[in-house]
Structure 1
Amino acid sequence: MPKELKVTMLGNRGVGKTSVLTAMYEQFSDTFEEADLQLTPDSESSALLQKRLGQLKALLDDFEATGGLEGDQKPQSFKFGLGKIGDKPSLQLTFQDFPGEYIDKDGEFVKKVMHECVAVLIAIDAPALMEANGKWHHLMNRPKQICDFFKISYGDLKEPRLVILVPVRCEKYLQNEEDAKKLRNCIKDKYAELFRLFKSENLLTKIACVITPVQTVGTVIFNNIRVENKKPHFYFRKISHDAGYSPKDSDQPLRYLLSFLLKLHYGTKWGWFNPIRHWLGWDRYLLEAARQSASQCKSSGGFVIIQGEDKLFIGK
């Protein structure tokens, strides 16, 4: 059996966690072909992701859409084998997704998952963050509540962790360098409490944190907000009537994860991760593939390393 590493998706209901995972899966073969890597889901994950992919592409059936996928009603583990093309997997990556309501209703479950996972992906609804002066940001993205989960779960952290903030539905805000800078600065401002926590004496040396925007459709941009019964509904439009499904940068969260693991392999003395150094050493090709992948991590425009560059294999 391949060794397992767990990653969790954290975010409120409807912010785009499932869309991020679906886009990552769909684009993997194209973006990692140069590294001779394949990502193979188990049968249950494959069936569900194929269904989600169909729903994501269906957003392009109409010129205007509400954009996004309905989340699952129960926790769902997406399991992928990572390995050399045509060979048995060397590593199992398990992405733990759970309904956004769990951050309100089952804090113990969320805490347990965060303890078990080497990385946390925080999905951020970009229009809720950026539009109407951020009026809907706290309702949709729950930044303070998410910060509280980290305070609880990482209070006695002993091992290094990677935290990736993933703005989604962000096509409108990445049209040029100036727009990307506004998105980046807005995240730094609205998640300042979380970043202060990560820079605290106990966590500064343990956490690597990055921002990696993902355009989960690529050709659908925010258009307007309509409020019904005091709840916002975000509407999007295609960039043209014949625009097709074309996600962008969905590879970046996984590239950063491989970058983090690669640096742990070569540089860490953390007890829990010592086995990683051992069993990753059995597959030299995987280390070389991770190195090649890490060299393509983006760190400009909307992408930024908040802290912990020394824990990432960037520019090495």
Structure 2
Amino acid sequence: MFIRDETLGRVMDITMLGPRGVGKTSLLVSLYDQFQGVAGSGGLVMTASDATTRAELQSYRESLRRFAMGVTRDPGIGGNARVRSHLFGLGTAGRAKPQMTLRFTDIPGGLLTQTTPDAETAILDRALKDSGVIFLAVDSPSLMERNGQYNEETNKPELVTDFVRDALAIGGNRLVVLVPLKCEKYVASAGGTRELAAAVRESYQQLIKTVGQALMPSAAVLTVVQTVGSMRFSRFEPDADNAGQTREVFRLSRLGARYSPQDTDQPLRWMLRFAVNAYKNRGKTVGERIGDWWTDADVPLNQALRTFGADCKLEDGFEVLVNHAYLGLPS
């Protein structure tokens, strides 16, 4: 779950997985953008660790805000052509440097259907091998509208299940977080939220079964996330730029609505809850048995992570799909 790096210290790898255009990068930006608002009171601080990530986040954030205000038609952030790793330092306030690094590897959706191996597919394979956590982004309109007419084409549930299966076969405890995005229309009511959750369970039932039958016990959770909050799916229309294809059209939920992400913290809460338990319950050396791992890190970090993990939601679009001891609240 964690590796040691001479430069970055304790590192946790997370893979952002999903086909093209489902919203992986938008999820990452919203997660970072809103983190301090929900975690600051618990003493946790997350910072972008490299200049490239900081610059890209600023550009992505501006794109999301323009979309959230209805200024642009495109739903958030355009897809990347190459694999990108984003480094975030995580620690407690008042420390000169973070106590750990979160390394998010953002996989271009087009790479999942590439048949010729190259340097980029090698990075994908390595990311899945090293990651203890996989965030799987799901395009909600494609799943929910027109009886799921575009689900196979857009979300490719069978294909992503194959990638997850390959990762689980490598060994190690893993957490798969299914994250329905662009879901503002559906979570506006309790009934719509239930329908969305049921559709995810149905469409990804083979993936959920695969996680449940993994050689090393692994877990899966469902967390619905509104990356902008203000825009709701309206309709599909022909894509003028791509003959024979459709595009999603969104509209403001109300006049004057603004950028207001919801529940972007939940995937991170479940991720850290699982990771902390995995680290504390790993096979320890004799020296490590003398004192737990927090002794060499920071006791306040232990408490801050425990406080942060205590607010994992378990209803209204949030549920444990495959349970695991590491999903419990760290002691």
Scaled by the length of structure 1, the TM-score of the pair is 0.92
Q: Which residue of 2 aligns with 1:113?
A: 127
Of 75, 91, 97, the residue aligned with 2:100 is 91
State the 1:104 CA deviation: 1.4
1:65, CA displacement in angstroms?
2.9
Is the counterpart of residue 49 in structure 1 residue 57 in structure 2? yes
Q: Choose which of 304, 310, 313 in structure 2 pairs with 1:298.
A: 313
Distance across 2 between alignment mates of 1:230 and 1:165: 29
Match of 1:14 in 2: 21
The aligned counterpart of 2:82 is 74
Q: Would you identify which runs of 4 or more consecutive aligned residues in structure 1 move more than 6 Å? A: none
3-state SS of the aligned residue for 1:210? strand
Alignment-mate amino acid for residue 180 of structure 2: P
- Indicate whether 1:263 and 2:281 are aligned: no
* Equivalent of residue 211 in structure 2, options 187, 198, 204: 198
Alpha-carbon shift at residue 201 of structure 1 (Å): 5.8
1:31-57 deviations in Å (ceiling 9; x for gaps)? 101211110102211110111000000
How big is the shift at 1:279?
4.2
1:1-316 equivalences under 5 Å are 1-42=8-49, 43-62=51-70, 65-87=73-95, 88-105=97-114, 106=117, 107-157=121-171, 159-200=172-213, 202-203=215-216, 205=217, 207-228=218-239, 229-269=243-283, 279-282=293-296, 283-314=298-329
Aligned-pair distance for 1:110? 2.2
Contact residue 168 and residue 213 of structure 1 kept, 8 A: yes
- CA-CA distance at 1:60 after TM superposition: 3.1
Please give the alpha-carbon distance, in whole angstroms, between the structure 1 residues aligned to 2:53 and 2:81.
Answer: 15
Q: Hey, what's the Cα distance between the residues in 2 that align with 1:16 and 1:311?
A: 27
Which whole-Å CA distance do the structure 2 matches of 1:8 and 1:64 have between them? 28
CA separation in 1, counterparts of 2:229 and 2:69?
Answer: 14
Cα contact 2:273–2:330 (8 A) shared by 1? no
Per-residue displacement from partner, 1:221-268 (whole Å, max 9, x unpaired)? 111111343312101111122111000000011111111122224434
User: How many residues matched?
Assistant: 310
Q: What is the Cα deviation at residue 149 of structure 1?
A: 1.1
Aligned AA (2:158): K
**DSSP 3-state at the match of 1:299:** coil
User: What SS class does the counterpart of residue 50 from structure 1 fall into?
Assistant: helix
- Counterpart residue type for residue 198 of structure 2: N
- Whether the 8 Å contact between 1:76 and 1:96 is mirrored in structure 2 is yes
- Contact 2:16–2:137, Cα closer than 8 Å, also in 1: yes
CA contact (8 A) 1:218 1:245 kept: yes
The whole-number CA distance in structure 1 between the counterparts of 2:202 and 2:295 is 41
Cα pair distance change 1:108/1:44, threshold 3 Å? closer
**Contact 1:63/1:237 (<8 A) preserved:** no
CA RMSD of aligned residues (A): 2.1
State the alpha-carbon separation in 2 of the partners of residues 13 and 77 from structure 1.
Answer: 17
Could you tell me how far apart the structure 2 residues matched to 1:265 and 1:101 are? 33
Which ranges of structure 1 fall in alignment gaps of 5 or more residues?
A: none
Residue number in structure 1 paired with 2:3 = none
1:63, distance to aligned residue in structure 2 (A): 6.9
Determine what percentage of the aligned residue pairs are the same residue.
30
Deviation at residue 315 of structure 1 after TM alignment: 9.0
